[in-house]
Every structure is written in structure tokens, then in C-alpha cells.
Amino acid sequence: VVVSLQVGSRPLRILVVDDDAHTRQMLSEALTLFGAEVVTAESVAAARRLLREHAPDVVVSDVGMPQESGYDLIRQLRALPRERGGGTPAIAFTGYATPEDRERALGAGYQDVVPKPVDFERLLTSIARISAAPPRARRTERPQASAI
């Protein structure tokens, strides 16, 4: 699959949230090779800070993390007004891949679910698909410092 992770002439900004350092590094390196600008967070708390600072175009988040889960993150994200990132497309990246798990993630506010271990072609295709959503579903401005 040939995918360019860009919006116009600029790199697509992707926030990867996973408590496993190896997974964060692997995803960051792979997505960067396809033209994305990637920032990573090891927790939901770190992700909230990066959401304010980097205004990602897409969030890729693990679901099963200690303290706060990916479900906590997506609920917090979806509670924001669209202009502050509430409509940011998000992918649940998870080892929980039953049909029920998929429905739970989609019902919580994720646009897609990509199971672990990662199938990079599927992940890239999913990112490209959800980042091409209609403008009303995507943020166009960077959030204020008080967001999240």
C-alpha cells in the first residue's frame, strides 16, 4: 500500500498513546517514514498535555493502560468542543480484538480499531481514511492552552 500521511503539503500530526515504550517507538518510527509528524505519550495524563500543545490531526491510542485507559482518553477528548479538539479522529490500537471489543471502542468514540500486534498496512490505511473525514469532523485550529 502506498500512503502519504500528509495534509496538503504539511505532515499529518499524529499523537500515539501507549504505555509500552517499545510500541511507542516502533509506531513513531514507522509513521514518520510515511511522512507523519509524530508525538508520543506514555499515559492519558501525558496525552492530555500533548493534545493541548500539538493539536494532532489523528490520535492512535492503546486501550488497556494503567491508571487511566484509552476509554478514559476518548471520553475526555469527545467531551471537548470541536474547535478544541473534540472531533479529532481517533483509532483504538488494542490487544482486545473481539467483535464486542471493537463495538465497545467504536461506541466510545473511536473511528476505527486496529488490533495488536500491528498490521502496518491496516494502520496506515485506517489513518489515511479517518484523516480524510469531512472538515466538520476535523479540527482546523490549534486549541487554546486551557483545552483539556
Q: What is the tens place of the pLDDT at every residue in 84-120?
A: 889 999 999 988 878 999 999 999 999 999 999 989 9
The secondary structure element, H or E, covering residue 104 is helix 99-108
Q: How long a stretch of residues is the chain?
A: 148
Contact 125, 1 (CB under 8 A): yes
Q: What is the tens place of the pLDDT at every residue in 43-96?
A: 999 999 999 888 999 999 999 999 999 999 999 999 998 888 899 999 999 888
Interatomic CA distance for residues 50 and 32, integer angstroms: 17
- Strand, helix or coil at 90? strand
pTM of the model: 0.85
Residue 142 pLDDT > 70: no
